[in-house]
Amino acid sequence: MHEAMTPELRAALGPRREALARSVRAVTRQVEGLEEYARRVQDAPPGPPTLPGPPPVRDVESGRATLPEWPPRAQEGPPFRS
């Protein structure tokens, strides 16, 4: 293909090649950043498991965190039809 490159074609392709090279460098940096993030996540100690539901509530009188009743109104039992 080098033989077919005329000075005009080379001049026309120059800016496109430069833009492509910039794009390749930018994507490469993003991939490297994601790979580094993946390594940090894999190396991180496991955290406590998270459960769905409302967050703990601080009991003002005792100063301790308590979990709210979940599911709400569980002590009432299942709904009954009359």
pLDDT tens digits, 27-79: 999 999 999 999 998 898 887 766 666 666 666 666 666 665 556 665 665 55
Nearest to 66 by CA among 77, 54, 74: 54
pLDDT number for residue 65:
60
Segments making up each domain of the chain, as ranges: 1-43
Distance between CA 72 and CA 54 in Å, rounded?
Answer: 10
**Element housing 32 (H / E):** helix 7-43
Query: How far, rounded to the nearest angstrom, does the alpha carbon of residue 51 sit from its chain's CA centroid?
Result: 19
* Amino acid identity, position 20: L
Burial of 58 (0-12, 13-18, 19+ CB in 10 A): exposed
pLDDT number for residue 60:
63
pLDDT at 25 over 70: yes
